[in-house]
Amino acid sequence: MGLTAQSVKIDAMKDVFDIVKTDSQHVIALAGNPNTGKSTVFNYLTGLKQHTGNWPGKTVVSARGEYSYNDEEYIVVDLPGSYSLFTSSKDEEVSRDFICYGDYEAIVVVADATCLERNLNLVFQISEITNKVILCINLIDEAKKKNIAIDKEGLERELNVPVVLTAARSGIGMDELKNLIEKITFNSEKRKPAIITYDDYIKSEINDILPHLEDLNISNIRWTALRLIDSNTDIFSINKEGHLTVSQAKKIKEELNINTDTIKLREMIAEHNYNYANELKQKYVTEDTKKIKRDKKIDDIITSKVLGLPIMLLLLGLVFWITIQGANIPSQMLARLLFGIQDKLSSLFVQWEVPMILHNILLDGIYRTLAWVVSVMLPPMAIFFPLFTFLEDLGYLPRIAFNLDHMFKKACAHGKQCLTMCMGFGCNAAGVIGCRIIDSPRERVIAILTNNFVPCNGRFPTIIVISSAFFAVYSNAYVNSLIPALFITLMVLFGIIVTLLVSYILSKTLLKGVPSTFTLELPPYRVPKIGRLLYTSIIDRTIFVLSRAVIIAAPAGAITWIFANIYVGDLSILSHVANFLDPIAKTIGLDGIILMAFIMGIPANEIVLPVLLMAYLSTGTLTDFESVDHLRTILINNGWTPLTALNVMLFSLLHWPCSTALWTIKKETGSIKWTLLSFFIPTAIAFAVCFITASLYRLIL
Amino acid sequence: MKALTDAHVGEVVKVRKNTAQDSLKERLLALGLTNGADIEILRKGPKNNLTVYNIRGAMIALRGEEARLIEIY
Ligand SMILES: Nc1nc2c(ncn2[C@@H]2O[C@H](COP(=O)(O)OP(=O)(O)OP(=O)(O)O)[C@@H](O)[C@H]2O)c(=O)[nH]1
Ligand SMILES: [Mg+2]
C-alpha cells in the first residue's frame, strides 16, 4: 500500500535514472525478480521505509536512499522487480534501463532462496552486462523452514560472483553484504562472472559481428552483439556514451545483413540460460519436497473454486467487524482524555485572559473538531491498517486476484487490475501509479480510470465511522458491530461491481479491445513479522493519515467556524453556502453541508468528516464526544436519516478523486482527456446512484 | 497435438514447443517456459480457466488463452 510520507512527496514519483551525487558517493543498484525482498534489503541498508508487501509488483518506481560504511558513502537504488531484461511492462523498463545503462559501481541481484532456478536467469543476464555483480540469496530463513539447503561456496565457484546468504527482514547476512559491496566498489575483489556459453550457431553469429563493434568505443561488445541478433533496435534507444546508438545498430544490421529471427534466437538463449540454471540447481540446492506442500494445502482452501469467494467476503467482513468492535472502547477513552484537556485549556485561557473571540476559534473551533476527529478516526484506523497489512504480507492479495480473474476477464479488463485496486485501498494515487504493472496500454487506462472506486485511506475512516454510528444495534455488544461490518463489506463489494461495470462499458466504447495476455505469480505464504507490521501500519499509515487530516482540518476547521459565526443578513456565511448547495444535495439525499464538505475535501478526502463535524458542531449546540452513539445523536439532530447515512457512504465511495489522484492520473496518462474523464465518470455515477437510492427511499417511505 | 490446457491437475508435463508470439512469448520465456521445461499442474481456478502451474519452482497462474499456446509431450 503506497501511501507514506515519502510516496506522497511529488519527487518520489519520479524515476531515478541520472543519479545526482557527489564525487565521493558510490551508486549501488538493487535488482532482482519481483518479490524477492529488494525493498526490504533497501530498507535495512538505508533505514528508510520503502513499502514492502508479499506480492510481485509492489515497487513500480525506483527509489533512492543512502548509507555509509567504513567512512564511505553509498547511494542505493531500489529497482522494481523484473523477471528478465527483455519483458515489456513499464515498471520493468525502468529496471532494464538502469541495469543496462545506469552508472552504478556495484549491482546486488537479490534472489529468492526458495526459487533459485527461476532467479538465476536474471543473474546470468546481468552477469553478461557487468562484472560488478553481487548475488544476494535472500529469504534464507524461509528456505530453512522448507528444508532447502544451498551450497553457497559451490555456487560462488561456479558463477564466479560473490554470493551472500541473507534474511533481510531480520538483518541476517547484511553486514557481509555491505562488506561485499565495499569490495566490489573498490575493486579489491576483481572477478569476471562466468557467462553462459552458447551453442555453435549463436557463437558464429556473434563472431561475425564482433569485429565490426571493436572500433566503436563500446563498453560491452559481446552483449551488444547478442542484442543485435536477438532484439529489435529499440533496445539501443538510450543514446549514451559507450553504447551503440539506434542508427549505428541499424547500419550494422544492414551492412552485415543480419536478419535473424530475433524471437527464435531469444528463445534459444533463454533455453540455454534455463538449462544452466537447472543444472546449477541440481548441483547446489537440495530440497525436501514434503515441506513445499504446505502452501499447496492452504491454497487448496483459499483459492478453491467453491470456497474461494465466500472466504474472501468472510475475511473482509471479519476485518471490518474486528475494526468496529475493537474501536469502540478506545474511542471513548480517547475522547475522555482529549475533552478533559479541553476543559483544562479552557480554564487556563480564562486565567490568562485570552480574548473571547480567540478562545472560541481556538478551542471551540479548532481543538474541539480535532478532538472529535482523533477520537473517531484513530482507533478504527489503528486496527484496520495492521489487519490489512497482515493479509498483504501473508501473500493473500494475489490470491484475491486469482479468485476474481474470471470476472475481470468478462469485463474485458486486465487480471492484474485487481492488484492495482488493492494498492488503491491505501491511496488511489499510489494505485494509479501501480497500474504500471499492466503492460497493455488499453487496460492500463481502464485500471487508472476505475481505481477511484476502491475507497482509499482517506475515505475508509469516513465510511467506517458513519456506518458504525448509524447502523449499529445497541442492544447487544457483539451483534451491534455486525450490521455496520456488513454494510462496509457491501460497500466494498459495490465498489468492485461498479469497477467491473465501468471497465466493461469502457471496453465496449472508448477503449475497445479484447483482454490482453496475463501471467500472475502466486508468491509463497510468508508469516508476517508482527512487530514490523505494527510499526509500519501504525506509524507509517495511521499516524500519517491522521496527521494529514489534522493538518488540513485545522485551518479548514477554523475557516468553517468563522464562516459559521459571521452573519451576512440573517444567515451565517456557512448557511448561505449550504443553502445554495441544498437543492442539488437534497435531490441526491444529502444536504448542503455534506456536499460542501465533499467539495472542500478535494485536496484530501481525509478532511470530509472533520469539516462536516465542524459545520454541525459550530452551528448547533456544542457537545462533547462520549461515544459513537453521541455522533449519531448529532447527525440525527441535523436531520440525518438512514438514507443520508447510506448516501454519504455511497457518495464517498463513488465521487470524484482527490486532487493528488487527479494530478497523478494526468502524469501517468499524459492526457487531459483521460484526466477529465477520471473526474466526470465517478462524479456522474455518484450523483446517479445517490439519486436512485433517494428516489427509491421516498417511494417506499 | 497436446496443449498445456489438456493436462490434468497433478500431472507433470514437459514443454515441447512454445507457440506464443511477441511480448507474451518474451514473458513466458522469462518465467522459464522454455522447450523441455517440466511443468506441474497444481490447480484449476474458477470456471476452469485460470490454472496454477509450478514452473521452475514458482507458482504461476495462466489463463486458458495463454496455456493453450504451449504444446506439451
Ligand atoms: N521471511 C522473510 N521474509 C522476507 C524477507 N525479506 C523480505 N521478506 C518479505 O517478503 C515480501 C516481499 O518483500 P519486498 O521487499 O517488498 O520485495 P521486493 O523485491 O521489493 O518486491 P517488488 O517490489 O514487488 O519487486 C515482504 O512481505 C517482506 O516482508 C526475509 O529475509 N525473510
Ligand atoms: Mg520492492
pLDDT (average), residues A130-142 = 94
Chain A residues with CB under 8 Å of B42 CB are: 296, 299
Chain B residues with CB under 8 Å of A137 CB are: none
Same domain for A25 and A77, yes or no, is yes
Least confident of A154-168, A250-264, A612-626, A649-663: A612-626
pLDDT at A11: 40
* CB-CB contact of A127 with A158 (8 Å): no
DSSP, residue by residue, A83-131: S-TT--SHHHHHHHHHHHH---SEEEEEEEGGGHHHHHHHHHHHHHH-S
pLDDT value at A477 more than 70: no
Tell me how far CA of residue A33 lies from CA of A56, A240, A396, B37, in angstroms.
8, 26, 19, 19
Tell me the ligand closest to A55's alpha carbon: 1
Residues contacting residue A203 through CB under 8 Å, at least 6 positions apart: A197
Same domain for A170 and A229, yes or no, is no
Domain containing A458 equals 308-700
* CB-CB contact of A558 with A565 (8 Å): no
- Burial class of A315 by CB neighbour count within 10 A (0 to 12, 13 to 18, 19+): middle
Kindly indicate the confidence band of residue A1, based on its pLDDT and cuts at 50, 70 and 90: very low
Same domain for A53 and A163, yes or no, is yes
* CB-CB contact of A42 with A64 (8 Å): no
Same domain for A270 and A320, yes or no, is no
* CB-CB contact of A1 with A53 (8 Å): yes
Residues contacting residue A311 through CB under 8 Å, at least 6 positions apart: A301, A302
Per the DSSP assignment, residues forming a β-bridge with A568 are A571
Closest chain A residue to the Cα of B69, Cα to Cα: A517
pLDDT at A279: 93
What single-letter amino acid sits at A357? I
* pLDDT, tens only, A215-260: 887 888 888 888 888 888 888 887 777 788 888 888 888 888 877 7
pLDDT value at A12 more than 50: no
> Does residue A81 line the site of ligand 1, with CB under 6 A?
yes
Same domain for A541 and A682, yes or no, is yes
A112 CA distance to ligand 2 centroid (A)?
13
pLDDT value at A9 more than 50: no
> Does residue A54 line the site of ligand 1, with CB under 6 A?
yes
Per the DSSP assignment, residues forming a β-bridge with A112 are A138
* pLDDT, tens only, A661-683: 999 999 999 999 999 999 999 99
Q: How many structural domains comprise chain A?
A: 3
Q: Map residue B55 onto helix, strand or coil.
A: strand
Residue holding cell 479548532?
A366
Kindly indicate the confidence band of residue B31, based on its pLDDT and cuts at 50, 70 and 90: very high
CATH number of A44's domain: 3.40.50.300
DSSP percent split of chain A into helix, strand, coil, nearest 5: 65, 5, 25
pLDDT (average), residues A415-436 = 88
Same domain for A577 and A674, yes or no, is yes
* pLDDT, tens only, A441-472: 899 999 999 999 999 878 888 898 898 888 87
A600 within some domain: yes
Q: Which residue among A287, A321, A355 closes a domain?
A: A287
Atom 32 of ligand 1 has which residue's CA nearest to it?
A139
pLDDT at A292: 62
* Cβ contacts from A onto B, under 8 A: 130
Q: Map residue A307 onto helix, strand or coil.
A: coil
CA distance A309 to chain B (A): 9
What single-letter amino acid sits at A635? L
* Rounded CA separation A662/A432 (Å): 9
Per the annotation, binding residues of A for GTP are 32-39, 78-81, 138-141
pLDDT (average), residues A385-392 = 88
> Does residue A51 line the site of ligand 1, with CB under 6 A?
no
A633 within some domain: yes
State how beta strands A567-568 and A519-522 pair. unpaired
Same domain for A485 and A341, yes or no, is yes
At the fourth CATH level, which superfamily is domain B2-72?
A: Ferrous iron transport protein A (FeoA) (2.30.30.90)
Give this complex's ipTM.
0.95
Query: Best mutation site among A4, A35, A49, A115 for ligand 1, i.e. most ligand atoms within 8 A of its Cβ?
Result: A35
Same domain for A123 and A239, yes or no, is no
A676 within some domain: yes
Kindly indicate the confidence band of residue A521, based on its pLDDT and cuts at 50, 70 and 90: very high
